[in-house]
Amino acid sequence: MTRTDVEFPSGDDRCAAWLYRPEGASPDAAVPVVVLAHGLGGVREMRLDAYAERFTAAGYACLVFDYRHFGASGGEPRQLLDVDRQLADWAAAVRYARRLDGVDSARVVLWGSSFSGGHVVEAAARDGRIAAVVSQCPFTDGLASALATPPVTTLKIAPTVVRDVAASILRRPPVLVPLAAPHRGAALMASDDALEGYRALRPDGMAVAESVAARVALQISRYFPGRSAKKLTCPALFCVCDHDTVAPARATLRHVEKAPRGEVMLYPYGHFDIYLGEAFETVVADQVAFLRRVVPV
């Protein structure tokens, strides 16, 4: 396979991306393309390359991008996580993917995980022409995730959220909140597996920002992308973790079981287990099998 650094416009800035093409692909044959982006505050280097390599080895092109304000993409201020802007980035990525040479514009697949697992449901429902969706350990219900957060954690981060909202009104630099902390710590994710699980995704030797503008906490609790599952017209695979401490499985199943062409696979893993080791091997094999069946090369 080959991997090329590319970029595409989104809003008033640009998104950096990797474009993977399968080895030996005929220039006369248009292949399906899988578009991937990460979850809450994540960047491409945090294991998305592992998924893209598997999909590309199976014959699919892949476009793996960073949201604006994160990673190698443009956008100021840095670490600003905004749901509407990220959904706009998904729409921009799909537009770019459809125009790529050697790609079948009618066979664009969206792949998301955690927070982006919810984004791909919403983005596909809005687009109406997506060929398939793969959503793993998806964030689908802001209320369920808020209730899963230890109350003491909510109290600890509340002053930071207020300060950041004030900073946004006064057009001052964002006030940041950690993405992950030990159990009951002051962070957006403070389950007993959050800090270790999040940091396990970082490449060795690479510094990755571990905080975001705190105002997003107000958006998270009001975001319900799972409600759009019933609007999906394409095949969708939902890989749900039984022991998910961030995106509770019960709420997720309630939403995704309404997808008209949805398939649900349950795994005995936690929210962060699914990216690594045996859990990764199991789940990515199921995802490749799903793609080969519903969007064959």
> Residue 52 pLDDT more than 80?
yes
> Residue 29 pLDDT more than 90?
no
pLDDT band (50, 70, 90) for residue 206: confident
Per the document, the length of the chain is 297
Residue 167 domain flag: no
Confidence at residue 96, expressed as pLDDT on a 0 to 100 scale: 98
- The domain tally of the chain equals 1
Residue 271 domain flag: yes
Query: Is the dihedral angle over the CA atoms 220, 199, 242, 287 positive or is it negative?
Result: positive
Residue 134 domain flag: yes
In tens, the pLDDT along 2-14 reads 999 999 999 999 9
Residue 164 domain flag: no
Lowest mean pLDDT among 22-36, 186-200, 237-251, 281-295: 22-36
Residue 52 domain flag: yes
Residue 284 domain flag: yes
Give Rg (Cα) of the chain: 18
Confidence at residue 1, expressed as pLDDT on a 0 to 100 scale: 82
Could you tell me if 25 and 33 are in contact, meaning their C-beta atoms sit under 8 angstroms apart?
no
Q: Model-level pTM greater than 0.85? A: yes
Could you tell me the CATH number of the domain that includes residue 241?
A: 3.40.50.1820
Confidence at residue 194, expressed as pLDDT on a 0 to 100 scale: 94
Region of residue 54 (phi > 0: left; psi between -120 and 50: alpha; otherwise: beta): alpha
> Residue 26 pLDDT more than 80?
no
In tens, the pLDDT along 111-141 reads 999 999 999 999 999 999 999 999 999 999 9
Strand partners, 236: 133, 262
Percent of the chain residues topping a pLDDT of 90: 95
Confidence at residue 204, expressed as pLDDT on a 0 to 100 scale: 87
In tens, the pLDDT along 136-177 reads 999 999 999 999 999 999 999 999 999 999 999 999 999 999
The parent domain of residue 13 ranges over: 2-142+224-294
Residue 189 domain flag: no
Residue 182 domain flag: no
Return d(Cα 154, Cα 159) in angstroms, integer: 10
Confidence at residue 126, expressed as pLDDT on a 0 to 100 scale: 98
Could you tell me if 280 and 17 are in contact, meaning their C-beta atoms sit under 8 angstroms apart?
no
**Average model confidence (pLDDT) for the chain?**
96
pLDDT band (50, 70, 90) for residue 205: confident
Return d(Cα 234, Cα 128) in angstroms, integer: 8
> Residue 25 pLDDT more than 80?
no
> Average of pLDDT values for 267-279?
96
> Residue 27 pLDDT more than 80?
no
Lowest mean pLDDT among 88-97, 143-152, 202-211, 222-231: 202-211
